[in-house]
Amino acid sequence: MTEDKLQEKANKKVIKEGWIRVTMMVEALATTEDAAKTALEKHIGAMDREEGIIKYKADWGEIKKVDRPFKNVEVAYSLIVEVDFVAHSFERLVWAVMTFCPSSIEILEPENLKLDMGDAQGILNSISDIIHRFAAMGVGGVVVRT
């Protein structure tokens, strides 16, 4: 489907069904230009297969060389993409943020959101689930205060 058709479909979802319009920035940082580009293209391309999400625009930046981004890395390459999409619900938007890990996100419309208790619980359970998955993989978790 063309970008114009996708944007038209997204506009209808926002107007008629109350979907949420969002723009987000996602960055990849890798040790080669090709790795940054390939990884980010695959990562953002996955949005096209997600239910409750319509990605209608992706503006790709230029790959930039970054000197010493980390202690043990001499050179890396950064690529940023700005993605415009709509999400079926706030819960689905939270899921998209947890899945696609944007550097920044802006909700463009609607101006106000109303959340019922079931949606709020779903969101909190999704956040809890991702924290537990990180902990199970040994890459994160929660620090318990004693």
pLDDT tens for residues 45-81?
999 999 999 999 999 999 999 999 888 889 999 999 9
Q: How many contiguous H segments (helices) and E segments (strands) does the chain have?
A: 4, 5
User: pLDDT value at position 110?
Assistant: 94
- Looking at the structure, tell me whether residues 139 and 74 fall in a common domain: no
Please tell me the distance from the alpha carbon of residue 93 to that of residue 81, in angstroms, as a whole number: 18
Q: Which of 144, 142, 143, 145 is nearest to 131 (CA)?
A: 142
CA max distance for the chain: 55
Please tell me the distance from the alpha carbon of residue 62 to that of residue 94, in angstroms, as a whole number: 28
Cβ atoms of 115 and 39 closer than 8 Å: no
Instruction: List 7's β-bridge partners, or say none.
Output: none
Give the count of domains, the chain. 2
pLDDT tens for residues 90-134?
989 998 998 898 999 999 999 998 888 988 898 889 888 887 887
- Looking at the structure, tell me whether residues 102 and 134 fall in a common domain: no
User: pLDDT value at position 100?
Assistant: 92
- Looking at the structure, tell me whether residues 32 and 102 fall in a common domain: yes
- Looking at the structure, tell me whether residues 99 and 145 fall in a common domain: no
- Average pLDDT for 17-32: 95
- Find the domain containing 122 and state its range: 115-146
pTM of the model: 0.83
Return the structure tokens found at 115.
């959340």
120 compared with 138, residue with greater pLDDT:
120
- Looking at the structure, tell me whether residues 85 and 144 fall in a common domain: no
CATH number at residue 48: 3.30.70
- Looking at the structure, tell me whether residues 29 and 88 fall in a common domain: yes
**Residue 57 per-residue DSSP state:** E
31, pLDDT greater than 70: yes
Q: How confident is the model at residue 142 (pLDDT cuts 50, 70, 90)?
A: low
